[in-house]
């Protein structure tokens, strides 16, 4: 009896949530930047927007690769998304 091809499903799901979270965070920052720019208030800077945007784009690309493949590359891409999300969150929000 062969086992169904579900290896890596949890990892791909977790990295998909992380990639979606990075995209959602970027959208929230973009809206916040737009609102604070119009009102003249302090808000997220350009560096934060660019960093989050690039990280979100890279995470989505890596997640698409992870979803379409079923080999070691998929695992590496899923791990890359998770590491990228951790780096962005720690780098911009904790330190």
Per-residue pLDDT tens for 66-84?
999 989 999 999 999 999 9
Q: How far apart are CA 39 and CA 18, in angstroms?
A: 31
Helix (H, G, I), strand (E, B) or coil at 44: coil
The secondary element (H helix, E strand) that includes residue 14 is helix 9-39
DSSP string, 45-76: -HHHHHHHHHHHHHHHHHHHHHHH--SHHHHH
Q: How far apart are CA 68 and CA 90, in angstroms?
A: 29
Q: Over 70: is that where the pLDDT of 7 sits? A: no
Average pLDDT over residues 24-51: 94
Q: How far apart are CA 44 and CA 66, in angstroms?
A: 31
Q: What does pTM read for this prediction?
A: 0.88
């Amino acid at each position: 009896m062969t086992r169904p091809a579900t290896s890596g499903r949890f990892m791909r799901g977790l990295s998909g949530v992380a990639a979606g979270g990075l995209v959602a965070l970027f959208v929230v920052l973009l809206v916040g930047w737009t609102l604070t720019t119009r009102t003249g208030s302090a808000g997220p800077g350009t560096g934060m927007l660019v960093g989050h945007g690039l990280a979100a784009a890279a995470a989505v690309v890596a997640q698409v690769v992870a979803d379409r493949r079923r080999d070691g590359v998929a695992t590496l891409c899923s791990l890359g998304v998770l590491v990228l999300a951790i780096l962005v969150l720690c780098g911009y929000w904790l330190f």
